[in-house]
């Protein structure tokens, strides 16, 4: 085997160790998220109580507080990371983020309307159901506005229009909110958090997210082909119309349901694919799963930081990811500038 | 394999770009598609590549309607090399060339030995094997074109459609590219290449198709391309000669340049 051939062989399997490493890291972060919290918890005792079905206090803390928080952090982070990677691949733009086509704006509006109407307290799943309905409506509206056979630019324009419309309606709901307490609740929810979520919410969104992930992962070869432009991708046998449907449908399911449960959490979907791209040789298809696990690790990590910081009331997760993400964008601009 | 355009018409934004074009292409043939800017060459090539559905008329592949063929089968049989091919992410050369194997690969299947062999063959044929570990965006214009050509060759299609593959190349690499297309044709694949350089087109191609304003003006051997026709269509005068027993032609000077420009002005479409 020549040196070249060896380099080619290791280069091609090069993203597997990264994928393995990041999936391991995300599992470790989820475990750390179980262990770290406000109350001291003997995790072993709590787990054995929970497994035996004893309703002890540690078991309740574990099952009702820690597990939903860690599990939702994992799946929401995974959704944001993989969708960000797919969006950047579809739009061939490193600045695309999961919500660019309007799904997270729609989900946020749906949840806010549930708050506004007072339904939030009526039953446990009202809020996520409202968010999911918002995301679906935004997606239907997107394709209705952009029309059949819409190109990428039309989709972005329609997405921006939907995002700003949803944003306007959200602020309208705040403006007209019946009492300051309701407005407060909406604002805090919009900041995004994993605190005080429950297992039924996880069971509601998990199947939807899983379908979304599967749709996104199935686009990997087409996203690779799209590296050569739309004409060449089509000449390689990919149906671009179907590709757009899959990516946007997958984004709506994955990110729409994430936002419906956690509120809006920015920057994870933008930053994670960007950081990991060089390690998969810039291949958009290889970036998908890697970004999913990277997103899960980052979100869980940020959520652990939130709990370790001696700041009260607890910082909202969306605030922390934005605080980490924005300087990253500045550094990106700086690097970009010096490359010219 | 035989592909045939049958009375194909296309209009874009209200302008008639192709007007009842009928043509057939055979394996083993190197066909030069020539014509002035805006003649409809690129559109015809896109129709042949299945990238643009004609408004009227049809495309047949081995007698079957192209729309009856499964997308992937079409992609395995017909390779397309776009004009000024852009690459959006900074891929490594060998990864980029391997994209040509996508029509052959199942979802998540690893590279088969056949894939690796095809990529190696394409790298060697285009003399880009030594560039395999380089990042595409660090290459020169000529190197980039050869790598993109290698990507198209890696498909191992029966028909190769190339849109101005020599446009960004220096004379040495232009001749090498044409030699390469020639050898692809002599190994049995059909090659249809859009060219602006009449010297290269008449020297290398088996057959010339001259388009003007969406219509076929000439379809025949390079020797049938007469001086009168060239001056009428292009508005230029050519000089002819013989070298090593082969005829050549060189475009020499403009004829009534201003009239020709004015006449064309309205017809241009970017």
- Taking CA atoms, A231 is separated from A235, A333, B45, B143, in Å, by 6, 30, 11, 21
Q: Is the pLDDT of residue A54 over 90?
A: no
Peptide bond into A313 cis (omega under 30): yes
CB B161 within 8 A of CB B132: no
Per-residue model confidence (pLDDT) at position B269: 44
Q: Residue A294, Cα to own-chain centre: how many angstroms?
A: 11
The domain A74-339 belongs to what CATH superfamily? ABC transporter involved in vitamin B12 uptake, BtuC (1.10.3470.10)
Unique residue bearing structure tokens 């692809």: B184
Give me the mean pLDDT over the B195-223 stretch.
95
Strand pairing class (B3-12; B56-61): antiparallel
Residue B135 phi, psi (nearest 5): -85, 135
Torsion on CA atoms A81, A83, A86, A87, rounded to nearest 10: -110
Give me the mean pLDDT over the B135-151 stretch.
92
CA–CA dist B203, B222 (Å, integer): 8
B223 half-sphere exposure, CB direction, 13 A CA radius: 3
CA–CA dist A140, A110 (Å, integer): 14
Residues 95..134 of B with a Cβ closer than 8 Å to A: which?
Answer: 95-96, 99-100, 102-103, 105, 107-108, 111, 129, 132-133
- As to burial, measured by CB atoms within 10 angstroms (0-12 exposed, 13-18 middle, 19+ buried), residue B27 is middle
Per-residue model confidence (pLDDT) at position A11: 42
CA–CA dist A286, A19 (Å, integer): 9
Q: Is the pLDDT of residue B47 over 80?
A: yes
Strand order in the sheet with B159-163: B78-81, B159-163, B190-194, B30-34, B207-212, B215-220
Query: How close A233 gets to chain B, by Cα (Å)?
Result: 9
Residue B236 phi, psi (nearest 5): -130, 155
Query: How close B100 gets to chain A, by Cα (Å)?
Result: 7
Q: Is the pLDDT of residue A6 over 80?
A: no
Is the CB of A8 inside 8 Å of chain B's CB atoms? yes
For chain A, the helix, strand and coil percentages under 3-state DSSP, each to the nearest 5: 80, 0, 20
CA–CA dist B249, B230 (Å, integer): 11
pLDDT > 70 fraction of chain A, expressed in percent and rounded: 95
Q: Report the residue of A90, A237, A246, A283 to disrupt the B interface, i.e. the one with the largest count of B CBs within 10 Å.
A: A237
CB A230 within 8 A of CB B52: no
pLDDT band at residue B142 under the 50/70/90 scheme? confident
Cβ contact (<8 Å) for A235 and B75? yes
- Taking CA atoms, A104 is separated from A151, A156, A160, A190, in Å, by 21, 14, 11, 11
* Residue B163 domain flag: yes
CB A236 within 8 A of CB B99: yes
**Best CA proximity match to A88, nearest among A227, A294, A231, A252:** A227
Per-residue model confidence (pLDDT) at position A156: 85
For residue A36, give every residue at least 6 positions away whose Cβ sits within 8 Å of its Cβ, in sequence order, or none. Answer: A304, A307, A308
HEC readout, B61-80: ECCEEHHHCCHHHHHHHEEE
- As to burial, measured by CB atoms within 10 angstroms (0-12 exposed, 13-18 middle, 19+ buried), residue B243 is exposed
B142-166 in b/e form (b: 16+ CB < 10 A) is bbbbbbbbbbbbbbbbbbbbbbbbb
CA–CA dist B37, A2 (Å, integer): 47
Instruction: Report ipTM (2 d.p.).
Output: 0.89
Cβ contact (<8 Å) for B91 and A227? yes
Residue A16 phi, psi (nearest 5): -70, -50
* Total number of domains in chain B: 1
Mean pLDDT score of chain A: 87
**Best CA proximity match to A231, nearest among B89, B50, B58:** B50
Q: Is the pLDDT of residue B270 over 50?
A: no
CB A252 within 8 A of CB A263: no
Tell me the β-bridge partners of B60.
B4, B65
Is the CB of A241 inside 8 Å of chain B's CB atoms? no
Residue B6 phi, psi (nearest 5): -120, 105
Q: Is the pLDDT of residue A216 over 70?
A: yes
Is the sign of the CA dihedral A140, A142, A147, A152 positive or negative? negative
Per-residue model confidence (pLDDT) at position A334: 83
Cβ contact (<8 Å) for A283 and B95? yes
CA–CA dist A331, A336 (Å, integer): 8
Domain of residue B33 covers 3-85+157-265
Could you please report the per-residue DSSP string of B7-57? EEEEEETTEEEEEEEEEEE-TT-EEEEE-STTSSHHHHHHHHTTSS--SEE
- Residues of A with Cβ-Cβ distance to B108 under 8 angstroms: 220
pLDDT single digits (tens) A55-72:
888 888 888 888 999 999
pLDDT band at residue A9 under the 50/70/90 scheme? very low
Structure tokens at A254: 């994955």
Residues 279..318 of A with a Cβ closer than 8 Å to B: which?
Answer: 281-284
Q: Report the residue of A7, A11, A95, A227 to disrupt the B interface, i.e. the one with the largest count of B CBs within 10 Å.
A: A227
Give me the mean pLDDT over the A205-219 stretch.
96
Give me the mean pLDDT over the A20-33 stretch.
95
Per-residue model confidence (pLDDT) at position A333: 79
Cβ contact (<8 Å) for B102 and A277? no
Q: Is the pLDDT of residue B122 over 80?
A: yes
pLDDT > 70 fraction of chain B, expressed in percent and rounded: 94
pLDDT single digits (tens) B59-72:
999 988 888 888 99
Structure tokens at B207: 């057959």
Max distance between CA atoms of chain A, in angstroms, equals 74
* Residue B206 domain flag: yes
CA–CA dist A256, A237 (Å, integer): 30
Report the CATH number that the domain containing residue B63 is assigned in CATH.
3.40.50.300
pLDDT single digits (tens) A291-319:
999 999 999 999 999 988 888 788 899 99
- Residues of A with Cβ-Cβ distance to B105 under 8 angstroms: 221
């Amino acid at each position: 085997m020549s040196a070249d051939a060896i380099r080619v062989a290791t280069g091609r399997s090069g993203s597997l160790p990264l994928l393995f490493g990041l999936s391991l890291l995300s599992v470790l972060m989820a475990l750390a998220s179980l262990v770290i919290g406000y109350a001291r918890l003997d995790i072993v005792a709590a787990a054995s109580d929970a497994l035996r079905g004893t309703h002890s206090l540690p078991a309740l803390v574990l099952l009702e507080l820690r597990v939903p928080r860690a599990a939702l952090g994992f799946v929401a982070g995974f959704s944001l990371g993989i969708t960000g990677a797919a969006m950047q691949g579809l739009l061939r733009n490193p600045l695309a983020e999961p919500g660019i086509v309007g799904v997270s704006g729609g989900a946020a509006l749906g949840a806010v309307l549930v708050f506004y109407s007072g339904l939030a307290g009526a039953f446990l799943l009202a809020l996520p159901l409202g968010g999911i309905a918002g995301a679906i409506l935004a997606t239907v509206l997107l394709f209705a506005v952009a029309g059949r056979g819409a190109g990428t630019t039309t989709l972005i324009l329609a997405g921006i229009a939907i995002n700003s419309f949803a944003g306007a309606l959200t602020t309208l709901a705040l403006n007209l909110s019946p009492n300051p307490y309701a407005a407060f609740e909406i604002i805090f929810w919009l900041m995004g958090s994993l605190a005080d979520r429950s297992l039924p919410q996880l069971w509601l969104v998990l199947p939807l997210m899983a379908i979304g992930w599967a749709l996104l992962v199935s686009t990997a070869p087409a996203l690779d082909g799209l590296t050569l432009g739309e004409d060449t991708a089509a000449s390689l046998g990919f149906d671009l119309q179907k590709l757009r449907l899959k990516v946007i449908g997958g984004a709506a399911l994955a990110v729409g349901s994430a936002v419906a449960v956690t509120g809006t959490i920015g920057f994870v979907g933008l930053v994670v694919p960007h950081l990991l791209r060089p390690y998969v040789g810039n291949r958009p298809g290889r970036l998908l799963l890697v970004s999913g696990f990277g997103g899960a690790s980052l979100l869980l990590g940020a959520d652990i930081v939130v709990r370790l910081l001696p700041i009260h009331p607890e910082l909202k997760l969306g605030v922390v990811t934005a605080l980490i993400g924005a300087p990253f964008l500045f550094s990106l601009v700086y690097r970009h500038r010096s490359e010219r | 394999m035989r592909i045939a355009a049958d009375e194909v018409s296309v209009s874009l934004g209200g302008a008639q770009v192709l007007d009842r074009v009928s043509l057939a292409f055979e394996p083993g043939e190197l066909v030069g598609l020539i014509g002035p800017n805006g003649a409809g060459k690129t559109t015809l090539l896109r129709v042949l590549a299945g990238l643009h559905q004609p408004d009227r008329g049809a495309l047949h592949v081995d007698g079957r309607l192209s729309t009856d063929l499964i997308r992937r089968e079409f992609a395995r049989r017909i390779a397309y090399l776009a004009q000024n091919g852009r690459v959006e992410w900074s891929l490594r050369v060998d990864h980029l060339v391997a994209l040509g194997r996508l029509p052959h690969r199942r979802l998540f299947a690893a590279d088969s030995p056949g894939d690796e062999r095809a990529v190696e063959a394409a790298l060697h044929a285009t003399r880009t094997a030594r560039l395999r570990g380089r990042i595409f965006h660090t290459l020169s214009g000529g190197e980039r074109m050869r790598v993109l050509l290698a990507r198209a060759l890696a498909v191992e299609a029966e028909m190769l459609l190339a849109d101005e593959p020599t446009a960004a190349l220096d004379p040495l690499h232009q001749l090498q590219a044409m030699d390469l297309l020639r050898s692809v044709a002599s190994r049995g694949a059909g090659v249809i290449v859009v060219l602006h350089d009449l010297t290269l087109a008449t020297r290398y191609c088996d057959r010339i198709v001259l388009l003007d304003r969406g219509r076929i003006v000439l379809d025949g051997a390079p020797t049938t391309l007469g001086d009168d026709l060239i001056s009428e269509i292009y508005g230029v005068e050519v000089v002819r000669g013989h070298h090593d027993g082969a005829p050549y032609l060189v475009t020499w000077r403009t004829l009534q340049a201003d009239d020709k420009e004015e006449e064309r002005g309205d017809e241009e479409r970017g």
